[in-house]
Structure 1
Amino acid sequence: MNVRKAYGILLAGLFFLLLPLTQALSAETIRLQAGKDAIGARGEVVVTDLGSGQKEVVITAVGLRTDAVYTVWLVNEKPRMEMAGLGEADYAFTSDGQGAGHYTAALSAEELGKWQLIKIAYHPDRNPRNMGNITVDLEGSLK
């Protein structure tokens, strides 16, 4: 094997080894604060650049209600109230028996940039499509 070929293989290997590290360095972490009815709940949102104008949003939370259904929302409160689900409909996850939850979605950087807040809503009837009687258990600022 000649030196050029060996050097090329070495560079390619380094690229694939360092790619996750560079993605981690470009990640942004947002703290989620508990709502008034979710004392003790906390979480974080990690937004990672996937390239090609795409972002991955990973939410981890603890202290949630156990075995409960939650939905994830992008929200603007000003100049007018508007919201959209994050990810695929039903935008839902279920917490485990210890109150931990995890949710992952991807969207364009442009779309994510339009929103001010991320909110995690609890659905007491376990139906993610029913927006009646929901409460916001976690919330964080995107800007």
Structure 2
Amino acid sequence: MILTFAGRAPKLHIVGYTGVFAALVMLNIGEGTTEAFVKPYLAAHGGIPAQEPSGFAAFEGVALLALVVGSICLGIAILRARTLPWWIGAALIASCLIGALGLPGAWFLLPDGVFFAALFAVGTIALRGRPEPADATVKHAATAAA
């Protein structure tokens, strides 16, 4: 299933999906559990410290590196494979570049929106299924008629 859209770039797809998956697990599950369980405990027992724990920055750094490598590899793989619309690959790559700009205020969320819109498009296309190529349909009809 992971290589449904791999086309000409299966290794890049694997690296891309692995990097994106690892980052999403680390950032969403790791930070989510911290915010759901650790921070309320700290708030009830003296308050949340002003500085993050010492290992948290390293944890985030590894996750962000996996996200950047995964997004760029997956974007390039999508562009090379030509099995999905080109703008999805471009959006994955652009999300990293936009994120590196460090946009102020609410614009800070723009790279996340671009990234998740691209992933949503991949999921939508995967759920819809790809139509069979015309020549496969003709061959199937010819064998059924014979």
User: TM-score, normalised on structure 2?
Assistant: 0.24
**Larger relative strand fraction:** 1
Structure showing greater radius of gyration is 2
**Larger relative helix fraction:** 2
